[in-house]
């Protein structure tokens, strides 16, 4: 039988992460990984590099602890971090971005 995760609030997720509880990262992944993956695909035209970027993003988030200090909503913070990091990674790896203006368009809509 598959284990079902009870969806946690963003506050609960951040608190678990702050306590170094691995379950916090699982809840974060369950709740936001699909949104992050779609945002990456908006920037990168290929699936495998998008999967690599998603993995890198989670390692980066864990290392820099920026989620613990955000003043924005968790969703907005993750989306911003995902788009900015995806663009930087694609430029560094010389992957052709599907839309170089993806970041500007995305945040022009939310402004």
71 in a structural domain: yes
For residue 111, what pLDDT is reported? 53
Asked if residues 79 and 32 have their Cβ atoms less than 8 Å apart, the reply is: no
Residue 1 lies in a domain: no
Asked if residue 2 belongs to a domain, the reply is no
Rama region for 44: left / alpha / beta (φ>0; ψ in -120 to 50; rest): beta
Note the pLDDT of residue 108. Answer: 66
Number of CB atoms found within 10 A of residue 53's CB: 25
- Find the helix packing angle between 74-92 and 102-110, rounded to 10°: 160
Task: Give me the number of domains the chain comprises.
Answer: 1
99 lies in which domain range?
10-110
Number of H helices, E strands in the chain: 5, 0
**Residue 54 confidence (pLDDT):** 93
Q: 70 in helix, strand or coil? A: coil
- In this structure, what CATH number is given to the domain that contains residue 70? 1.10.1740
Query: Is residue 100 in some structural domain?
Result: yes
Residue 89: inside a domain, yes or no? yes
What are the beta bridge partners of residue 44? Answer: 97
What is the distance between the alpha carbons of residues 65 and 6, in angstroms, rounded to a whole number?
24
Residue 104 covered by a domain: yes
Question: Per-residue pLDDT for the chain (111 aa), expressed as one digit of tens each?
Answer: 344 556 688 899 999 999 999 999 999 999 999 999 999 998 887 777 889 899 999 999 988 877 788 778 899 999 999 998 888 877 766 544 455 556 666 666 655
Question: What was the pLDDT predicted at 38?
Answer: 93
């Amino acid at each position: 039988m598959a284990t079902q995760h009870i969806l946690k609030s963003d506050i609960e997720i951040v608190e678990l992460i702050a306590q170094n509880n691995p379950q916090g990262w699982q809840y974060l992944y369950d709740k936001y990984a699909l949104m992050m993956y779609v945002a990456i695909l908006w920037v990168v035209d290929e699936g495998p590099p998008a999967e690599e970027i998603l993995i890198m993003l989670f390692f980066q988030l864990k290392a820099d602890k920026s989620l613990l200090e955000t003043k924005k909503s968790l969703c907005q913070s993750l989306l911003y971090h995902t788009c900015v990091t995806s663009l930087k990674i694609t430029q560094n790896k010389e992957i052709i971005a599907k839309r170089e203006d993806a970041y500007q368009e995305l945040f022009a809509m939310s402004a």
